[in-house]
Amino acid sequence: MTTPEMEATIDDNPVPESVAEAPGGGQQGQWRLIWRRFTMNKLALVSLVFIVLLILAAILAPLIATHDPLYLDVSKSLLRPGHENHLLGTDVLGRDVFSRLIFGLRTALIVGFVAELAALAFAILIGLVAGYVGGRPEQLLMGFTDVMYAFPGYLFAVILVTVMGRSVLAVILAIAIASWVGQARLVRAQTLTLKGRDFIEAAQAMGAKGPRVALRYILPNAMGPILVATSFGIPGAIATEAGLSLLGLGVQPPTPSWGSMLTEGIAYTQVAPHLMLAPAILFALTLLAFNWVGDGIREAFDTTGRAQ
Amino acid sequence: MSTRRQVLQWGGLAGGVSLVAGCGFSGNKPNGTGGDDGGGGSSTLTIEGPVLPTLDPQVISNGMWMVNRGLIEGMLMQTDDGTDVQPASAESWDVSDDGRVYTFHLREANWSDGSPVTADDFMFAYERLLEPKSSGAGVTLGANSYVSSLGIKNALQFQQGIVEDWAEVGVKAPDEKTIEITLETPNQGFLMGMTHASMCPLPKKVLEEHEAEWELPENIITNGPFTVEATQTNVSMTLVKNPEYWDADNVDLDQINYRMNDGTATPTLVPFENGEVDIMSVGDAAMLLRFQNEPELQGKLHSAKPGSIYYLALLHSKNETLSDIRIRQALSLAMGRDTAAKSVPLVEPTTSLVPQSVAGWDESVTNPEDIDKAKQLLADAGYPDGKGLPTITILNGGNPSPMITTIMSNWETNLGIKVANDAVESGVYVQKRSALNDANYIGFYFGSFAAELNWSKWVGSLWSPTFTKPFSLSAKDYQEYLDLQKSDLKPAELTKQLNEIADERCSDEVKQFAELTDKASKTVDPDEATEAFKIAAKAREDCFIFLPIAQGSYHFAVNERVTGFHPRPTGDQYYYKTLGVK
Amino acid sequence: MVRFTVHRLVRAIITLVMVSLLTFVLLQLAPGNFADLSAITSGATMTAQGQRDEVMSSFTARYGDQVPAWQQYLIFMKGAVTWDMGPSYKYPSLTVEGIIAGAFPVSATIAVLAVALALLVAVPIGVLAARRRNGWLDNLLMFLVTIGNSVPNYLMGAFLLIILVGRLNLLPSGGWDGPLNMVMPVIALAIGPMAVLARYVRSAVIETLREEYVTTAIAKGGPGRTIMVRHVLRNSLIPVVTVVGPIVASLMAGTVFIETMFRIPGLGQYFTGAATSRDMPLLMGTTLFFAALLVITNVVVDVSYGILDPRTRMERRPA
């Protein structure tokens, strides 16, 4: 027989298992408690505010951007930051770097959130069913997961982007396909751990049916580690888009994307460092913010940690 | 090789037992000569260039240029400036009065193992090159396409399977040291064409014995100034002087360390600046800018004459809007080549598909830009101020050149039309170039060509009439053309039927261009031929199927201690033979 | 234990067959073939389509004349099982198994050294951070680690190249001739795993510190360092080992950016090149090899985990 316990411990779970169990009280109260604990972590809170600001900036990009991100003027090529009303200078075609960064933010966040959420939805479906139902379906689903785990995501990216063109959708799909596997294993591991707990058995004894137990009791309690994984996954997706751009498989130019800006910036490091520094710093800050929010979520869910 | 031992060695190393230098590193080296750690010896140079997956001169890859540069010597080589030919493996040659038969007299020379270079080695190479389905020793991947520009009698027909007897092809070896080549028609570019890598001899006995592995360092023999001592695939190659080379006394260098650099990595001049590399090809815009901006780098950039053309070519589409030549002309006249060329360092705008350094080139072969006329043409075609014209797409492989982005912006500003970029993976690029695209997809693909600088090459061979004709077919005829390609007819019959469609149904402008080119290639007198080609070249410009954008050249960062560096516009770029160290 | 191992191995083989099928099917779906792509990338576009088809069929000829795709697949798989996959399309003088045998040791060395370096840094950082949990040192260390994790390895590589070679001229810019060539790629590749591992170590140590036997040992008044090493570290490292395996395995597959940047003859370049040039044998070979590596690592990790951890062993006994 397969030994779920063993796999549960092995399969990448960056979070020590200490999920908050639903203590008698309602779900509402539990989430409020978690939120209160989250806000106690100042770094996480500041990061969350930063991310919200990024999202606002992306939505309001046309209002914030000082120039048309696609407008080019070869005679204004490679202006330094601050010159001629260009806050962060211009690129080789004389396009405004600041405006391109702000519009690139849209691409980055759409790719990051949508790819990660798509991956998450699929991972929850596969992981929850496999973990809760068990038996043959579990074996099939986990077999499928194994295949995808051993299959190089790069190849999928090549084929998808090749067949669908360099659209945002293709990039999102390529990234989602590459990243759901780890999460599915995580969800299944959590499900398996929770399945044996008393309160689940109690719910079942009281007549709750399978899907209801899975969705109402198991999923919310598995949410901590899943949220953490997601908060790390979003910046991961943004970084992957940048990597794809480097290989000529990213979002279609001249649509501004951080990936393509970074690619171009690296080439111009010795000629015009601002071209590399501007996207690299914003990119790193975004990644940091998501990481810290992830940390905050982890600690907020970690009841044992609080006890000490 | 010693794979097992290596694994063990590396295994120990990986386990952190010891970090011993040396022996584990070079995969394929017979002895321990240093790889590419800088130009240490007084007559050693380190050269950085593209990755060479193979050294077969008949497989189109960067490897074939390496062969031509200094490993295997053909009958002729180019002069230092790349404008004429000089003797190489052939000591001398005669031309018949009608300009159709060339007789080459091979010199007494040896392969690097001491065996003589004979006419047999040439005949073997040419038959392998033209064999439609090469078997045994590798596959001549596309290199035979160059042969068509030489105009050797029955060569193309043999390659296409129309002529099946090798004896009918116009290549003969009357004796051990003579090669006689018969052409269909006189060809002013023939001798220059013979300097191409695909026309090199091959060591027959090595290829027969080792087949595809003939090019490995332990098997390869060469007749050129250098021979291969060691290879590290994807990383480096060590070349050493070939003492058997007929002109070895005039070869200064003892060794060349060739470092391979895949273009996708961060382009950087670092290895050149810190003295690791003596000669480095520089193609990246960011690197070229540094040579313009930084005083300490000035004077170290060496460029060949412009010999490459960037162009846009018409895409096939079910939507026939662009079949109206006025629209294509308008797009060409309003492209804004000045700013497009400015977006990339060291390229010059041009409105001719023939590089300006081809002897005899003048303004008569161009169609200068004229925005007012372009607007008028567009209005005449039914799209005043660009209104109603479907979006024009520019297709390109990989990330788009800044030239494309600039042209898009220029068309939008100058003509008021909508332009999109379709930057795709190279496999898709290949497919969309020749496919009959959907009705919502009209426009051009972006490409570039480099070749030797003569008229017959740039008019009769690149964007030749045969190549051009299918571009002017109607959507329906092109669909028929594509369907026919997929049929399982015999090659000879297939080619015949395809040509029938192309010849009969192409546009009148293209027919005109084809007739003029045909006339030019049959002209014997060189000056008259040039004039005839110029008329044909203008006729091709007037088809507006291929729109020239700019001309560019090869650039190199060259250390001051290097002597005898003579860059040329052809793909082999420069010869190793003349290189030396101060 | 035996039954478990056999079960895992069977699953591994099924996984590999599925991966190979998937790769082959995807490759058939991808536009363009090797001949077309070589023609385009080398400028031989004037070659007629018919001729390119001829050339392509001469490549596939080794799988039999005009054989259907599924038969090519079977012939290739037979070659893969017998470790005789024939020449690559792109590197005609090299066999696929020869390429893998040559490139894998290189990728493996870089990967193992990178993870070793990552561990060397991550373990002390993780332990220190755990002991000073939520103190300023913990925050500072985790801050640094997160920054490290936020820089993609190609950016790190470019920085190293420009600073260590361009500015300071301390190292050769690239190549594969001696240990000095490994410094930059190893550092560039170590940064990511370093951050992940430091986090792992930190949480694992915190978990272990809460265990009863550790609390008891501390209560007994044993010397701090002994407890840390004997009890805490040893027990915390078990979960860490389980993540190290897959990290090493995935790095061993090679990383195309770092390899091309520093001119290292590793597997990543071959794999990426095979995908972009549609070199079927090489792509199938490298993909399968990579998959096998991951799958085997997983089996080994699973099995050794069962042996290592007394708790899991005990839990299994009744079953």
CATH number of the domain bearing residue C155: 1.10.3720.10
Greater confidence (C286 vs C224) lies with C286
Instruction: Give the Cα separation of B452 and B308 in Å (integer).
Output: 9
- Give the best residue of A151, A234, A240 to mutate against chain C (max C CB count within 10 A): A151
B312 pLDDT band (50/70/90 cuts)?
Answer: very high
Minimum distance, in Å, between the CA of residue A245 and any CA atom of chain C = 12
Residue C219 has pLDDT above 60, yes or no: yes
Model pTM? Answer: 0.84
Contact between chains at C155 and A146 (C-beta distance less than 8 A) = no
Q: Does B396 touch chain C (CB under 8 A)?
A: no
Question: Would you say residue A61 has pLDDT above 70?
Answer: yes
Higher pLDDT, C275 or B574: B574
Task: Please tell me which residue, A42 or B560, carries the higher pLDDT value.
Answer: B560
Query: In the predicted model, what is the mean pLDDT of residues A76-105?
Result: 88
Structure token digits, residue A239: 């970084």
Cβ burial C131-167 (10 Å sphere, 16+ → b, else e): beeeeeebeebbeebbbbbbbbbbbbbbbbbbebbbe
Range 16-55 of C in CB contact (< 8 A) with A = 16, 18-19, 22-23, 26, 29-31
CB spacing of A269 vs C204 below 8 angstroms: no
B contact residues 490-509, partner C, Cβ 8 Å cutoff? 491, 494-495, 498
Residues of chain C neighbouring A10 (CB-CB closer than 8 A): 242, 301-302, 305
Rounded to an integer, the average pLDDT of C233-248 is: 76
DSSP C41-54: HTT-TTS-HHHHHH
In-domain check, residue C190:
yes
Give yes or no for residue B448 having a pLDDT over 80: yes
Domain housing B543: 308-552
Cis peptide before A254 (omega within 30 of 0): yes
Q: Which of C42, C102, C173 sits opposite B142 (nearest CB)?
A: C42
DSSP at A76 = G
- Asked if residue B360 belongs to a domain, the reply is yes
Q: Does A308 touch chain C (CB under 8 A)?
A: yes
Tell if the CB–CB gap between C175 and B35 is shorter than 8 Å.
yes
pLDDT tens profile B353-377 = 999 999 899 999 999 999 999 999 9
The answer to whether position A29 is within a domain reads: yes
Whether the CB-CB separation of B381 and B486 falls below 8 Å is answered with no
Neighbour count for residue B31 (Cβ, 10 Å) = 7
Q: Where are the beta strands (DSSP E) in B236-383?
A: 236-241, 255-260, 279-281, 301-303, 308-314, 348-349
pLDDT at C40: 65
Is residue B390 in a domain?
Answer: yes
Sign of the Cα torsion C302, C308, C312, C313 reads positive
Which residues in C lie closer than 8 A to residue A12 (C-beta atoms)?
243, 246
What pLDDT, in 10s, does the model give residues A109-149? 999 999 999 999 999 999 888 888 888 888 888 888 888 88
Distance separating the N- and C-terminal Cα atoms of chain B: 39
Contacts of A254 in chain B (CB under 8 A): 400, 405, 408, 421
Q: Is residue B394 part of a domain?
A: yes
C178 belongs to a structural domain: yes
Query: Is the separation of the CB atoms in C20 and C288 below 8 Å?
Result: yes
Range of the structural domain that residue C147 is part of = 97-275
- pLDDT value of residue B15: 33
Co-location of B377 and B428 in the same domain: yes
> Which stretch of DSSP H or E encloses residue B401?
none
B14 with B64, same domain: the answer is yes
Neighbouring residues of A202: CB distance < 8 A, sequence distance ≥ 6: none
Cα–Cα distance, A104 to A263 (Å, whole number)? 13
- Contact, B581 vs B562, CB < 8 A? yes
Could you tell me which residue, A14 or B562, shows the higher pLDDT?
Answer: B562
For residue C92, what is the nearest residue in chain B, using CA coordinates? Answer: B212
Residue C226 makes CB contacts below 8 A (sequence gap 6+) with: none
Number of structural domains (chain B) is 2
CB A175 within 8 A of CB B438: no
Please report which confidence band the pLDDT of residue A244 belongs to, taking 50, 70 and 90 as the band edges: confident
B577, B500 Cβ separation under 8 angstroms:
no
Same domain, B11 and B99: yes
Where in the sequence is the domain holding A33, given as residue range(s)?
A: 4-301
C313 vs A: CB within 8 A: no
Q: Is B290 on the interface with A (CB under 8 A)?
A: yes
**CB B535: neighbour CB atoms within 10 A?**
16
B296: helix, coil or strand?
A: helix
What pLDDT score does B153 carry?
92
Domain match, B446 and B460 both: yes
Chain C residues in contact with B160 by the CB 8 A cut-off are 50-51
- The answer to whether A273 faces chain B, any CB pair under 8 Å, is no
Q: How far is B222 from chain C, CA to nearest CA, in Å?
A: 17
In a domain, C143, yes or no: yes
Which of B2, B9, B261, B270 to mutate to test binding with chain C, by most C CBs within 10 Å of its CB? B270
What's the mean pLDDT in C86-113? 90
**What three-state secondary structure class fits C218?**
helix
Is B3 in Cβ contact with C92 (below 8 Å)?
Answer: no
Q: Is residue A261 part of a domain?
A: yes
What digits encode the pLDDT tens for the residues B176-209?
999 999 998 888 889 998 999 889 999 999 999 9
pLDDT at C223: 60
**Does the structure's ipTM exceed the value 0.95?**
no
When the pLDDT of each residue in chain C is averaged and rounded to a whole number, the result is 80
Residue C87 lies in a domain: no
B518, B561: one domain: no
Phi, psi of B95 (to 5 degrees): -120, 135
Long-range contacts of B172-177 (CB under 8 A, 24+ apart): B173/B119, B173/B120, B173/B122, B173/B123, B175/B119, B176/B118, B176/B119, B176/B120, B177/B105, B177/B106, B177/B108, B177/B118, B177/B119
In a shared domain, residues B333 and B470 = yes
Q: How many domains does chain A have?
A: 1
For A246, the closest of C150, C242, C257 (CB atoms) is C257
Residue B13 has pLDDT above 70, yes or no: no
If you measure CA to CA, which chain C residue comes closest to A270? Answer: C162
Write down which chains contact chain B via at least 3 CB pairs under 8 A. A, C
Report the pLDDT averaged over residues A236-246.
81
C99 touches chain A (CB under 8 A): no
Of the residues C15, C131, C286, the best mutation for testing chain A's interface (the one with the most A CB atoms within 10 Å of its CB) is: C15
CA-based torsion, B397, B402, B405, B406: positive or negative: negative
- Per-residue pLDDT band for B324 (boundaries 50, 70, 90) equals very high
CATH of the domain at A218: 1.10.3720.10
B504 Cβ neighbours under 8 A, 6+ residues apart: none
- Classify residue B298: in a domain, yes or no: no
Q: C199 to chain A: which residues are within 8 Å by CB?
A: 14
Are A107 and A61 contacting, i.e. CB atoms less than 8 angstroms apart?
A: no
Tell how many helices (H) and how many strands (E) occur in chain C.
15, 0
Query: Distance between CA B45 and CA C316 in Å, rounded?
Result: 66
B401, B406, B412, B415: CA torsion to nearest 10: -110
Mean pLDDT of chain B: 86
Name the minimum distance, in Å, from the CA of A267 to any CA of chain B.
6
Q: Which residue of A has its CA nearest to C303?
A: A6
